Amino acid sequence: MASPALWRNLYDQLYAIYGDCECPLRHETPFQLLVAVMLSAQCRDERVNQVTEILFAEAPDPGKMAALPVERIAEIIRPCGLFRAKSENLHACAEKLLADFHGEVPQTMEELTTLPGIGRKSANVLLGNAFRKPGFPVDTHVRRLLNRIGLVSSDSPEAIEAEANSHIEPELWCNFSHLLIQHGRRVCHAQKPACDRCAVRTICKRRKVK
């Protein structure tokens, strides 16, 4: 098991490079972030932002999303992929928000994960970015980096989240996830990690310094 000092060392080194990160998904409200997060599954953030600009012009809130036919939602979000399932989830989610939460996005993990299309990772994104509450989203970059560096040895997002949360202060959880994602996208790629220009290679158990 990695020491708390090693976890904080990783955070500090990544923070020195990327600083305080913002969610790349454009949104003005928690509901809009919820929609963007749902659309981001297997889709690049840039494409999501293009699609939500069109979608939010017609359905910027739960009431208007619920009133929009599923077929119209699917037509708009088609470029994001998985558009049939996503459109059904968006419509059902909007209806549930209106029926059970007075049209507001709830602010707890337990309530968020009752919404159609929202799992634990998406809920953590909302907690950390929409509500500024502790939340550590574990995506493919986070899972890959923490395993590759050697701080965890698990493919379970829940286990990785629990391990990270036990070593990093809650107020840093959201930004720590952002930092790992940024590093995964820019340096620690899945197939060909750029180890020769990696700032954390000295603490990475799989470093390949040339």
Catalytic residues: 121, 139
C-alpha 177 chain-centroid distance: 8
CA dist 197 and 131 (Å) reads 35
CA distances to 30, 95, 120, 137, 181 from 159, rounded to whole Å, are 27, 32, 12, 12, 18
CB 118 within 8 A of CB 94: no
- Which residue bears the tokens 């459109």? 87
